[in-house]
Each structure stands twice: as structure tokens, then as C-alpha cells.
Structure 1
């Protein structure tokens, strides 16, 4: 069995850490909110709280599930004069970054870790809170195949599909591009539903027809009725995070010299919605945003 550290017990991280706690591995957890980490440890026999990064010094694997590259780099490289995991982890330990981070920065971070005798995988996820709970996330992995082989049993506790997509940074690149396609499809679906309703179509019937026709997509199948038409708006993934991931995708396009005109338009729509709806809005509230725009 392994000694695993897990940093970031948010809406996705908490159920993921819960699954790891069921496997018998020694698990230490950390969160910006110390009470959250304490509550998790109290609810999971065998889990402990890492009060400081140095408590991960004997870990075989440390998993980060954090908001962005800035947060990841603060933990790995150190922040405000405090040492990071780079100078704390034992030789041969592996950092698995499951956050949604910037691919180019992930590549650089991987090299920095390797220079210190540490291993790195970027392994972001897709599937939302529901699939985090039942361990069926899609996990896209960048890094050395041999390192992935060592860590795959742990990752398969969290995801049904674990796919090696390339070298360091490739996982984060794939995640950003996946979310771009998903976000563009969501906007197209929302626009179609609003136009159809204005014409007099029943949105429930529209969704059913889209799901039996060529317009079927992740939004029509898993979000439209469940979170939008119902007015629940509680999918568990924030609008701000979607806008952030879109920014990463557009930045990736720019870094490789590829113009993304549709992507630029989609990003602006999400940024405008994020500004209008405010902090904490679920990404499915894009439906409400478009409805109010019509008014």
C-alpha cells in the first residue's frame, strides 16, 4: 500500500479523496479551510490531516486538486518564504496534478520536479461531481508512460477511463480543449432552446428531439432538463471555472500559433455571463443568462 497526500477538498476533491480513503492506502489530506480537512479526517478512519506541507515528506504520491496553475505552483515551489513540495518530497515521489492548469506552465513545472529527482503527471478530470462520487471520471494523463503505469491503480480508483494522451502538459491541454468544445456546445444548445421557446416550441420536447437527432451533445443529454429547465442550476461546476478553462484553451491556441475565432467569441460570452451573474454561479446558469438577455 502507498502513502498518499491529497491537497484540495473542494466539490470534486472531497469525493475523490473519499474513494482513496476506502482503498486502504495511508491518506493525509490538506485544504485551505483547515476545518474541512479536519472534518474529512474525522469521517474517514485511517485518514489524517496534514497541517503543513512538510507532513507530506514521506508520501509516495501527492495529488493536487486546486483551482489553477498559480495555486499549484504556490504549493509545489513554495510561497511567502515557505518551502514547497519541491524541497519536501522524498526522491522518487510523484506529484499528480489533477487541477485544471495551464499546459505550458505544467511542462515547466514537470521539468523543475524532474531536475530534483521527482516524478510528475498532469491528470485533469472530466465528468463533474456525480462521476467524482461514483469513481467514473474520465482522466486524461500527460507524462511518462512508465510513471503512469506505477500510478494507474490509484487513478483507476477515481476514474473509469484513464487515458495517456502524451508528454507533460498534454493532459492539461486536452482538458482545456475538451471544456472548450463542451462550452461551445452548451451555448449553442441554450441559444437554440431560447429561440425555440420564443417561436412556441416546448423546450422539453426540443431536448428530447435533439437527443434523438444530430444535435445531441453533453448539454442536451446531461444538463438541459436536469439543471436548466428544472431551474436547479446545481451541477457542481462553476461558471467562473468554465470561463477560466476557456481562457486556458485560447491561450494554448495562441501559444501554438493557431487562430481560434469561434473560441474567442465563446470565451467572451462566458466572461460576460460570469460578470453578469457574479461569484458562485453554476455554469448551467448560462441558460438563465440568455433568457434574461432576451428580456
Structure 2
């Protein structure tokens, strides 16, 4: 498959810079979003055109970057975008969707003569902008190989995980580890502060020692201690991913222990914040003073 014409549905904080990478690589790009003004804005900035029914028939790939499985299924099946594609076209869901539902969607699309990959991303807005995302791919190896040049416009690490749904499963589990690691890092900082160790010093200790993590290296000083809380990934979106991880564990008959506590804690905190609250605000929200 020679991928030239690409459709992209979902122009949010991640979708827009990902589209910029695709257009910048020379692909013919058609975009769609629930907000028509957003489509107009992106088309004005990039070499892109609105996605129409006529354009869909000629697409090599239709990509979705949407909030959840229900919206992905609604767009592809209920709104009919899958039916507008020509058999043989490839659908790539780069959303953070539910693995079991992704596997079912792959079967549904196969019945319509369409190929499917789930390819969620990790790395945040900045890495979307510079094309260095990690992309976790589930599906058939042949489709993965065909899509690799397109995926490499957006990501630096393209990892083939396994059958359909595996990418979404890996993304949820990665975020479970990330979220629980963030919480324990924050708690260690608060204990250190109460004992009289400056939090920036404790962060240096972690980064020079075995407690080092993505949180300690890339989030604590940059977004937590600075008070900017501007990583670009919301607390509620992380909560959604943790729900997916919890359901995944249940579906395979594994009982989480530490993970279950982390998920429950994140749920509790998420209930009291706005949709725009950055996930690094856990530093503030988990402090004993804030509870």
C-alpha cells in the first residue's frame, strides 16, 4: 500500500500537531472535527482540506484521534465514515480506546473489507509537535509495515505490540504505571518537605538514584514545583486511561492490588476537578494541606 491520501478525524490538542506533521511530510490531507470552526482553522494553517464524502472514497488511510471508544464507533459506524471508504483502505485509531472494543471494531471493519490498526500515542503535546511520539501499534504486521512511513511522520518510536487491541492495551498499562509512579513521587516530595528536605533537592536525589522516573525527570521541577501545571495532559484524561487499564485487568481475570489503590485514588481526586486540570496538579491535590 502506497499511502498518499490521508483523512484525519479529531483536531484536538494532540490531533492538530499530528496533522501538521502529516501535511508537512507531503501527504494529501483531509480533516474533520465536531467543531466546524476547528476544521476551518486547521485548513487555514496547513495544506489540508475538509474531509467530505467524496474525498473519503479516495482515501488510503482514515485516522481517528478521539476521546474514547464510543465516539470512535459512533464516527466510523453510526455516522457512516467507514461505509464511505473504498474496500482495502486502512483505518488507524490513534485514540485511547478500550482494547476489547478495539478488537471487536477490527472484526466489524474487516467484514466491510477494511483494514484496521490501533495505534495510540505517548509523549504529550510537545512530542506531537516535534514528531517524536511513541506509537504503540496493534493489528496485522502487513498493515503495520504499510503504515510505518505515515506513522514515522508523527513518531520516533514505532512499536508493534501484537494483534488488534494490543496497542490500546499497552497504552492503558503504560499510563497505569505512569500515574502510580507520579503519585508515589509526589508523596515522597511532601514527606521530604515536612522533614526539612527541599523538594528540588529531593528531586535531584531521585534523579541521581534508583527512584528516577519520567515524573521526577520531566514533570516535578518543570510543572509541579514551578506551579505552572502545564504538561498538556489533563487529569481527567489520565483517569479515563486508568479506567481502561482496570477494565482490561478484569477482562483477563487479574486482580490488581497496588494498581487498584492507584486507580481508586485517581478516581477520587478526578471527581473534584475541571476537565482542564492538568494531571501534574496531583502534586497540589495530593498534599495533606489540600485534603
> Fold match, TM over 0.5?
yes
Does residue 229 of the first structure (1) align with residue 225 of the second (2)?
Answer: yes
**How many Å apart are 1:62 and its aligned residue?**
0.8
Q: Secondary structure at the match of 2:30?
A: strand
Q: Which moved more, 1:66-75 or 1:36-45?
A: 36-45
From 22, 25, 41, the counterpart of 2:24: 22
Provide the rounded CA distance (Å) in 2 between the counterparts of 1:118 and 1:166. 18
Tell me: CA distance 1:263–1:149, structure 2 relative to 1, closer, same or farther (3 Å): same
1:190-201, aligned counterparts within 5 Å? 190-201=186-197
Q: Give 1:274's aligned residue.
A: 270
Number of equivalences: 289
- The gaps in structure 2 that reach 5 residues or longer are none
Structure-2-length-normalised TM-score: 0.97
* Equivalent of residue 97 in structure 1, options 87, 93, 97: 93
- Provide the rounded CA distance (Å) in 2 between the counterparts of 1:215 and 1:183: 15
Distance 1:292 1:14 in 2: 38
* 2:258 matched residue in structure 1: 262
Q: TM-score, normalised by structure 1?
A: 0.95
8 Å CA contact 2:284–2:290 kept in 1: the answer is: no
Matched, 1:48 2:49: yes
Q: 1:32 is matched with which residue?
A: 34
Q: Find the aligned partners of 1:279 and 1:147 in 2 and give their Cα distance.
A: 35
* Partner-residue secondary structure (3-state), 2:107: helix
Distance in 2 between residues matched to 1:54 and 1:199, nearest whole Å: 65
Cα RMSD (Å): 1.2
Q: How does 1:1-295 map to 2 (within 5 A)?
A: 2-45=4-47, 47-50=48-51, 52=52, 55-78=55-78, 83-291=79-287, 293=289
* Distance change in 2, residues 1:168/1:205 (3 Å): same
Structure 1 segments of 4+ aligned residues over 3 angstroms from their partners: 52-55, 292-295
Give how far 1:86 is off. 2.4
